[in-house]
Amino acid sequence: MRQRVFGSIDSFVESADSSLKIGRLVGNFGFLQALLRFGEFDQIQLFCPTMGNLQLLRQQLENSLDEDTLNRVVLSHHLNLPDALAATDFDAFHLGDAFFYLPKMAELRARHAAHPFPLTAPTHSLNDVDLGDKIRRLCQAPLSEGDAIFCTSRAGEDVMRHYLALHREPGRPPRTEWVPLGIDESYFIPRARAACRKKLGLPERAFCLLYLGRFSPVTKADLTPLLYTLARLRAEPAGPDTPPLEWRLLLAGGGSAGEIASLRQTIGELGLQTCVRLCDNVEDEAKRDLLAAADVFVSPVDNYQETFGLSIVEAMAAGLPVLASDFDGYRDLVVDGETGYLIPTLACPPPALIDALLPVLDANLVSLCCAQGVAVDMECLAQRLRELARSPGLCRAQGEAGRRRAQAHFSWRKVMARYDAWWRTLKREALGAGLAKPAAAPLPPLSAFQSYPSRWLASDVTLQLTPLAEDIVAGKLPMPATYADVSLLSSAPLLAHVLQVVSQLGACGLSEVLEHCPAIAPDYVCYQLAWLLKYGLLRARPLAPAQPAS
């Protein structure tokens, strides 16, 4: 039976830090783990950009996979990609981002692949000031039927369709499909609320709100309105038949020193020091304790940088009702009135000056200016918090409904099944369409640098060993080592072979060396010679002029 093969030139691991807190990194690493656990592929080929990254990925996989799963994974370097494309009938080739590698990979497929296969990639943040330029480059790439961009939210898909309509003909690839991100199934394992509260030093009777995310008005959410809302709620008098509520707000996430200092200042100015706790740079274990200890999850996001909202799904899995802004992809997650509430938002674009200066403005400034024009209805948020705080039964019911929804739609097992169904469909479409033609051949990267060196290696040189090379050949000195990332181009055996050829020939020309290395591509032979010249093992002299005939 034919094997199903998955490929990617994204290693999906960019850091040795296991406590990744950036949504894109969390989503990509979660995708890789889910692919290995639930993907229906016989072989998974991952091409890494550097040898260091390859070693990092190998270490991560060896620490987390059983032997059978590990045996399905083939790790390789980007330099091996052309040969792999020519030799392998991939069923899916998936990338970690829709813009960086996708157009480049489409060109490589057109030039080197022997079999049609679908190229797919997800969206992440879509508020880049140069998003239009990225999509224009994408539309100029040799994409084919079967290629698709997986949008993590329907709001994100609207953005993509808007820009694609500006830069491509109707019906041309790539297509867009909505496929959400997922979370690990361990998030559905409940933890004892009382024990977690005791561990965190939280009063048992307090009504605890949890925010989980970056403390950044530039890239996530302006938390100042939430703090003012909490101050108002605390100041409300108790009714004749209702005891006073003991409010707590847990702000967990990360931010710059300036952002954290600004939050602390606002907390102090509002007199909230005793009821607001800042938990910066929380690790995964502490995050799960916070989710178990809280009563409700709040996410008043107001930033166009947000597309999906993994923290919301994590909160739903923990059985918390979610109060989230009615914004971006949050609408795909929270069912209003059933798993929590969507809090209305109102938006206004910044003054036209921002658009006029867009090409030169700092991207973070643009993000902040746009977000400051988004208002989350804090009166509505306050009212929903009162309702949930006064009705423990409603709180529990919405939390349980959220848990069921997360299990049904957003576990990685469920999400990976959606991916796999699309890959099977897209592979059939790719086979029907055939291979796309490559675009115009790119210029070699050094073609514009002809005037830089004194001369280029050519047939008009005489090559011969230096005394250093003679010492190395005699075993008096070790051979210099090549850098790991160049070892696929200049390996020790290849260098030794070419050096031996020159040693046997004595003073010789380039054409003679090439003739004596018939099994090696000429450009590889020349590259070995250049390395040997670089490290002083060879010397190159101009050919002696021909002697006139007597």
d(CA 108, CA 486): 20
Residue 379, number of CB atoms within 10 A of its CB: 11
Q: Is the pLDDT of residue 154 over 80?
A: yes
What's this model's pTM, rounded to 2 decimal places? Answer: 0.88
Element (H, E) at 150: strand 148-151
d(CA 513, CA 226): 74
* Residue 172 confidence class, pLDDT cut points 50, 70, 90: confident
For range 324-348, the mean pLDDT:
97
d(CA 230, CA 210): 12
pLDDT tens, residue by residue, 253-280: 989 999 999 999 999 999 999 999 999 8
Among 178-182, 240-244, 302-306, 414-418, the minimum mean pLDDT is found in: 240-244
Q: Is the pLDDT of residue 18 over 60?
A: no
What CATH superfamily is the domain 5-182+415-433?
Glycogen Phosphorylase B; (3.40.50.2000)
Q: Is the pLDDT of residue 20 over 60?
A: no
Domain limits of the chain? 5-182+415-433, 188-236+244-405, 448-542
Q: Is the pLDDT of residue 398 over 50?
A: yes
Q: What is the pLDDT of residue 29?
A: 79
Residue 214, number of CB atoms within 10 A of its CB: 22
d(CA 307, CA 156): 6
Structure tokens at 21: 């807190």
Percent of the chain with pLDDT over 90: 81
Q: Is the pLDDT of residue 90 over 80?
A: yes
> What CATH number should be reported for the domain whose range is 188-236+244-405?
3.40.50.2000
User: Pairing relation of β-strands 119-122 and 148-151?
Assistant: parallel
**Residue 436 amino acid letter:** A
pLDDT tens, residue by residue, 450-462: 999 999 999 889 9
Structure tokens at 216: 């950044």
Q: What is the pLDDT of residue 167?
A: 87
Residue 215 contacts residue 444 (beta carbons within 8 Å): no
Q: What is the pLDDT of residue 168?
A: 81
Residue 216 contacts residue 346 (beta carbons within 8 Å): no
d(CA 327, CA 344): 8
pLDDT tens, residue by residue, 206-233: 999 999 999 999 999 999 999 999 999 9
Q: What is the pLDDT of residue 373?
A: 97
Q: Please list, residue by residue across 324-344, b when 16 or more beta carbons sit within 10 angstroms of its beta carbon and e when fewer do.
A: bbbbbbbbbbbbeeebbbbbe
Do 5-182+415-433 and 188-236+244-405 share a fold? Answer: yes
pLDDT tens, residue by residue, 107-132: 999 999 999 999 999 999 999 988 99
Matching residue, tokens 């200066």: 357
For range 139-153, the mean pLDDT:
94
